[in-house]
Amino acid sequence: EFVAREPSRAKAVLSAAFERGLVLLSCGLYGNVIRLLPPLTLTDAEADEGLSILEEALVAAGSAD
């Protein structure tokens, strides 16, 4: 759960996702919110791949702490 005002954690997830080919955005007053902006033409397979990459990025960013 991302409730802390720690933009460094969000940046770590964004960086790990980008390294794996997934582009995400950070936003929010403190830069600690991660936004997903999938296209309307997103297929189920693409959604599954994107979520898998996001999961890997979350794990990688969490283990970097």
Please name every residue paired with 26 in a beta bridge, in sequence order, or none if there are none. 34
pLDDT tens, position by position, 14-42: 999 999 999 999 998 889 899 999 999 99
Nearest residue to 64 via CA among 2, 23, 17, 13 = 13
Name the band, by pLDDT with cuts 50, 70 and 90, for residue 3.
Answer: low
The structure's pTM equals 0.84
Long-range contacts at 59-65 (CB < 8 A, ≥ 24 apart) = 60/12, 60/16, 61/9, 61/12, 61/13, 61/15, 61/16, 64/12
The domain segmentation of the chain, as residue ranges, is 7-63
